[in-house]
Amino acid sequence: MMKYFPQAFLGLLVSVPFWLTDSYMLHILITTGIFIIAAMSLNLLLGYTGQLSLGHVAFFGIGAYGSALTSLGFEITLPGGIPLGVSPKPVWFAMLVGIVAAGFTGWAIGKLAFRVRGAYFVIVSISFAEVVRLVAVNWVELTQGPMALNNIPVLRLGWGSAEVAFLRKPAFYWLVLAVGTVCYIIISRLVSSRAGRAMIALRENEPLAMSVGVDVTRYLVLATIVSAAMAGSAGALYTHYIRIVDPDIFLFVYTVTMVIMVVTGGKGTLAGPIVGGVIFGLIPELLRTMAIKPEVQWIIYGVVMVLVVYFLPMGIVPALRNWRGGQQASSTAAASGPQMEGAGK
């Protein structure tokens, strides 16, 4: 039964706009979906290579700004008086530019930051995100600074009468679902490949991995590129959905949200970011209906994070798997194994 669970779950998700007509609920699902994509990308680094990137929001924001700027066009003067102008491009192309820009940044950061590990890598990644945020605030000519980029165009695909504008919520929901599914498939393929095993090996024991010939930096950089590009795709989706982008997109709270989603759901599992993302995407709405202030919501987030580390250190998904493994005979537990392979310790 569990074998076809991902397919059945995907089918359920596809059907949502047919029976859920409440536009606000759909909006919540769309933003949750975008954050789940970002959380999945963070999970690739945090869960599979064991590197905590606390600057992950920078990739998200670069994807958002890259896509917004390419679709709007811009004219700037580079140092030395060289003018640089980009005319407005179609949105699908702009989104690709955003993804590539994020991936390229991931490559550069990976090359530089992986000279250090652990706490140092965390601090370098935070510093990087803050520098990017300050550039977005201060480079007004390009980014409009705190005035924000407005009227970001909507994604249109197809030609003539067959053109689809991703303006209405059901259409955008399916778009997010499609991108999310592609990211899920890429990650699941990647982590069960040779490269994925190398990543897990270096997470578990880096000196040992090196000693058997794993090119550690190469795989870390590879993971960072893929992860950054996915975070960039989430940012590009976000910017063409909300249609306004300002430097607040680089705020540290977004990174924290992604980290909480991954850690609670279960880092290093394919389903973890989705479970965590659904929980932390819906909790704010639940609290809002209970008329709880946002400060209290964040206090609850903080407390939940501490409690998860204490009581569910591996996260919900591995805990459930262990629980089920204990409940049932080993044969059924083995049947549910394959889709989670390479996950957990």
Partner 1 sequence: MVPPGVRPGGSDTIHTHGAKTRLDQFLQHCLNALMLGGTYALLGIGLTLIFGIMRVVNFTHGELYAFGAYCMYALVVPVGMNFFLALLLAMVLGALLGAVIEMLLLGRLRGADIDTTMLVMIGAWIAMQNTEQLIWSGVALTVPNPFPSAPLVVGPLSVSWLRIFVLFTAVGLIFAAYTVVNRTKLGKAMRATFQDRDTAALMGVRIDRMHTATFALGSGLAAASGALLGPVFVVNPTMGDLAAAKAFAIVILGGLGNIAGATIGGFILAFAEELGAGYVSSGYRDAMGFVLIIIILLVKPTGLFAQRERIG
Q: Taking the complex as a whole, how short is the minimal distance between the CB of residue 38 and partner 1, in angstroms?
A: 17
Q: In 3D, which of 113, 95, 126 has the Cα closest to residue 250?
A: 126
Please identify, using beta-carbon distances, which residue of 253 and 286 lies nearer to partner 1: 253
What is the binding site for partner 1 (CB under 8 A)?
A: 50, 52, 112, 115-120, 122-124, 126-128, 130-131, 134-135, 137-138, 146, 251-253, 256, 259, 263, 293, 295-296, 298-299, 301-306, 309-310, 313
Q: Taking the complex as a whole, how short is the minimal distance between the CB of residue 113 and partner 1, in angstroms?
A: 8
Residue 58 host element (H or E): helix 56-72
Distances in whole angstroms, Cα of residue 128 to Cα of each of 25, 110, 145, 249? 35, 11, 18, 14
- Three-class SS of residue 76? strand
Q: Taking the complex as a whole, how short is the minimal distance between the CB of residue 150 and partner 1, in angstroms?
A: 19
Please identify, using beta-carbon distances, which residue of 57 and 270 lies nearer to partner 1: 57
Q: Taking the complex as a whole, how short is the minimal distance between the CB of residue 198 and partner 1, in angstroms?
A: 19
Please identify, using beta-carbon distances, which residue of 147 and 185 lies nearer to partner 1: 147
Give the whole-angstrom CA distance, residue 74 versus residue 48.
Answer: 38
Please identify, using beta-carbon distances, which residue of 169 and 203 lies nearer to partner 1: 203
**N-terminal to C-terminal alpha carbon distance within the chain:** 25
Please identify, using beta-carbon distances, which residue of 112 and 286 lies nearer to partner 1: 112
Q: Taking the complex as a whole, how short is the minimal distance between the CB of residue 138 and partner 1, in angstroms?
A: 4
Collect all residues with Cβ–Cβ distance below 8 Å to 324 and sequence separation of at least 6. 333, 336
Give the whole-angstrom CA distance, residue 140 versus residue 146.
Answer: 8
Please identify, using beta-carbon distances, which residue of 16 and 292 lies nearer to partner 1: 292
Q: Taking the complex as a whole, how short is the minimal distance between the CB of residue 24 and partner 1, in angstroms?
A: 25
| CB 63 within 8 Å of CB 136 | no
